[in-house]
Amino acid sequence: MAVTINPRPADFPFMREAAEKISLLSGTTPPALKIEGIEATEAQLYTRADPAQEALDALLRNDVEATRKHLREMAIDKVREHHVEDEAKRATIHKAKETVLSEDFPLLLEYINSNLEKARRGFNENAKLINKEWGKADHTPEFLAALDLADAGIELQDMLRKNFQVQTPKHAHPFTVGSMRPYVNYNSLNLLDTRNTRVKLIDSMNERAKPGSSIKLHWKSSQEFEAERKEYEAMLGKLGDDAQEDIPVYEYWLNKKK
């Protein structure tokens, strides 16, 4: 079953960020949102030339009418309550954004839920080059570009968990396969994971692999996540405290291959 999200309107900023990453990974185009036009207009509302400078410039070029115009603007500015105008702008912009949210929210939600699976597949297609060239001394520009795209995928997965409550099964690795040990969830240990995305990728790819295997970058499907969870729980149940030691864990996976 494909992953979907069920956000609240308050999550709309996160949805926009997620949609950008989905677009990169899936090669699809996000819908045009009305809020984008409001934001463009908002930027122009706060862009205003200085009438004092314009009056000076007009005077220097001997333009009488333009000089009078800008001097009048300067006079108006002296009596205008600037904060009243700014508050009016903010209130109007806020109301406009609230108005278009009723249309933009379902439109963007439909795009996200329709393309999350395409983004997962795009991540895995991109990961093929990384898995092939990982560990080589010299990296091609294509490899480095693939790493950048992988970062976007890992950040998207983080957003799904943190902002949209899409849970990864306990013990399952979020974006790799082949690790000898279960995933250590920093959040479950009440630790703050301050690593940036690239460091998380490198640390995960450099973990100890199961005998005869290698760590590979891979965004698992729901079924694959669940299968990996069961696999690690079976190992933990079999080894008990010995699961903390390298040799018993290595031998466990070695015997599973036979």
- C-alpha dihedral over 187, 193, 199, 203, to 10 degrees? -50
pLDDT band at 181 (very low <50, low <70, confident <90, very high): very high
Q: How far is CA 252 from the centre of its chain?
A: 37
Give 152-180 pLDDT, tens digit per residue: 999 999 999 999 999 889 999 999 999 99
Average pLDDT score over the chain: 90
CA distance 65 to 58: 8
Residue 59 phi, psi (nearest 5): -65, -40
Tell me which residue of 141, 87, 112 sits closest to 15, measured CA to CA. 112
E strand intervals along 38-171? none
Q: Look at residue 11 and tell me whether its pLDDT is greater than 90.
A: yes
Degrees to nearest 5, angle at CA 154 with 206 and 236? 55
Q: Give 117's pLDDT tier (boundaries 50, 70, 90).
A: very high
The residues that bridge with 209 in the sheet, in sequence order, are 179
- Sequence-separated (6 or more) residues with CB below 8 Å from residue 222: 1, 2, 3
Q: From CA 174, how far away is CA 224, in angstroms rounded?
A: 11
* pLDDT reported for residue 76: 76
Instruction: Scan for tokens 């250590």, then name that residue.
Output: 184
Question: Over 70: is that where the pLDDT of 79 sits?
Answer: no
d(CA 161, CA 138): 34
- The per-residue pLDDT for 187 is 66
CB 254 within 8 A of CB 209: no
pTM score, two decimals?
0.82
pLDDT tens digit string along 186-206? 766 666 778 899 999 999 999
Q: How far apart are CA 172 and CA 26, in angstroms?
A: 24
* Average pLDDT value for residue range 26-35: 95
